[in-house]
Amino acid sequence: MSLTVFENCVLIDGRSDEPREGMTVVVEDNRIKEVGERAASFTDARVVDVGGRTLMPGLIDAHVHVYAACLDYRRAADMPLTLMTVYAVHRLRAMLDRGFTTVRDVAGGDFGIKEAVAQGLIPGPRLFIAGRAISMTGGHGDTRGRTEHRMPCACASNANDAMCRVVDGVPEMRRAVRDELRKGADQIKLLVSGGVGSPFDPLESRQFSEEEVLAAVDEAGAWDRYVCAHSYSPRSTQLAVRCGVRCIEHGNLIDRETAQLMAENDVFMVPTLVCYEEAERRGQEFNIPPAILPKLRKVTEAGIGMLEICREAGVAMGFGTDLMGELQDAQSREFSIRAEVCPAMEIIRSATSVNASILQRDGELGEIAAGALADLLVVDGNPLDDLQLLQDQGQHLVAIMKDGVFYKYGLN
């Protein structure tokens, strides 16, 4: 048994509305044992004087793609899985450096990379994986060119194939969901609308029928898993919500009626605004196809309004980034973008306890409370006063603890 006692903390616990000063947090092995103004006396404990700095939960990003090695999908089509994996190793370490102790991969991440992190073979956040996202023929995940007739290879021979699989009809949908669950998926990802990065499908298109989405939700529920859905348009989002999808990804083109429907059905929204701003700002440098630029501008312009609509309707919003390839260093800029609409504590909760609820890990992740896993950050300052402290590639994080073990320790 190992004990670590954090003393003299300004505590942001991930759930409360206000921070608490002069707090003590006791960690036993990999879990939080006690939180209070004074802790019981423990022998053989490692005592860490936080020095009045902020102690907060490790961050959670609910929308990443660890295998998305580059923005240029034509280059990705020729990228072998071995090279893609090496890119993923470096990006996982960088996420942990930024204070993200947990991430949810919603297309591509598989059991192998998840286990490599869990077994300590590579440093990184704990992973919740979806395996390959599920697209219909001609949908957002169908990466073929207009003149290409070959279907994507089921063996996932390159980066594009590793991200998505294409199915049509209820029997194929059931088979695909069962297969991803067999391979270790923690959640199932459906692509129910057009997308920005797919040049040939209309952004507002509805993809998959009601019967197909219901089949996916049914199969996921049979394993006590859930379905999240890539969706931009109101009609595709409404279809997903009516069919029992638990979480909407992106949602930029939402209207008030749809947001109200989400709130009434306790469906989460995971905005990913930083990916559009970064792609528009830096995309030309990394060969973003010109054909997708009108889509990109449309969703970028709609993003802030989506936050306002969802807040007004009472939709619970998680924290995601969806940064591909070369843009992943901008992960923490999502905090600044959200700050245009949302208070700092609300943003921090979105990246901690709200995301824990999305992951179905309430009481275990995203909060500092007795019984939770010991994922902790010591911040040199108060992020409620300056969200920049959660940016700059983690340079303001004095200490990072994941699962009860210090990954970074810079306290005297």
Give me the average pLDDT of each 10-residue run along the chain (412 residues).
94 97 96 88 88 98 95 80 94 98 97 98 98 96 76 59 93 98 98 92 95 98 98 98 98 98 98 96 84 92 97 98 95 98 98 98 98 98 98 97 98 82
pLDDT given for residue 115 in this prediction: 98
What residue spans define the domains of the chain?
3-57+366-409, 59-358
pLDDT given for residue 154 in this prediction: 54
pLDDT given for residue 153 in this prediction: 56
- Calpha distance 192→234 (Å, rounded): 11
Place of tokens 């797919």: 198
Cβ 192 vs Cβ 173: under 8 Å? no
- Calpha distance 6→50 (Å, rounded): 6
- What global pTM score does this model have? 0.96
Place of tokens 């996202």: 133
pLDDT given for residue 78 in this prediction: 82
- Calpha distance 312→305 (Å, rounded): 11
pLDDT given for residue 412 in this prediction: 75
- Calpha distance 93→226 (Å, rounded): 28
Report whether CATH 3.40.50.300 matches the domain 59-358.
no
The residues, any chain, with a CB within 8 Å of residue 356's CB and separated by 6 or more, are 14, 60, 362, 364, 365, 366, 367
pLDDT given for residue 160 in this prediction: 65
User: 365-368 contacts: CB < 8 A, separation 24 or more?
Assistant: 365/57, 365/58, 365/60, 365/102, 366/14, 366/57, 366/60, 366/102, 367/13, 367/14, 367/15, 367/57, 368/11, 368/12, 368/13, 368/14, 368/25, 368/32, 368/35, 368/55, 368/56, 368/57
- Calpha distance 337→354 (Å, rounded): 18
- Calpha distance 344→383 (Å, rounded): 8
Report whether CATH 3.20.20.70 matches the domain 3-57+366-409.
no
- Calpha distance 110→122 (Å, rounded): 15
